[in-house]
Amino acid sequence: MVVKNHFTVRSSAKVEGFYIDYLGNFSLTALKNYLDISDKIIQSTFEKYSNSYDDEFGIYYFDSKEKALIAIDVLVAAVPASKRGRAVYLTDKEIELIRKALINEDTNILTVKASLRDEIFKKLNDVY
């Protein structure tokens, strides 16, 4: 599953600029394996938004963080919907409420503070 939150734009120590890291992987071939999209899509996206390529490490460098973020958006959009996911961070209280709701699914006797319920829905409805 590909999660947009797992992408990181990192500043390069080797050249002036930024590169895209996905769970510690940044070369074109490694990204292809994780993203499950063709290397042509990845390569054309990187070529469009990056300003240089390092043959030795197979890394594309971007002259701005904004261009790297745009490239990430394009790559995530290219991943099939069935393989895309979201990371949602819940508090222990929120997790416990969801667990109770699933256990008592047909009983309709679960009482919830509106503010807690609203916070859970807000987190689940947020787009990345």
Q: How far is CA 110 from CA 17, 117, 118, in A?
A: 52, 11, 15
Say how many Å lie between the first and final Cα of the chain, rounded.
15
pTM: 0.74
How is the chain split into domains, by residue range?
A: 2-85, 92-125
Residues in the chain: 128
Q: How far is CA 105 from CA 34, 109, 111, 113, 116, in A?
A: 36, 9, 12, 17, 18
Across the chain, which has 128 residues, the per-10-residue mean pLDDT values are 91 90 87 86 92 88 95 94 86 86 66 76 73
pLDDT for 57: 84
Separation between Cα atoms, residue 97 and residue 120, nearest integer Å:
9
pLDDT for 61: 94
116 touches 91 (CB < 8 A): no
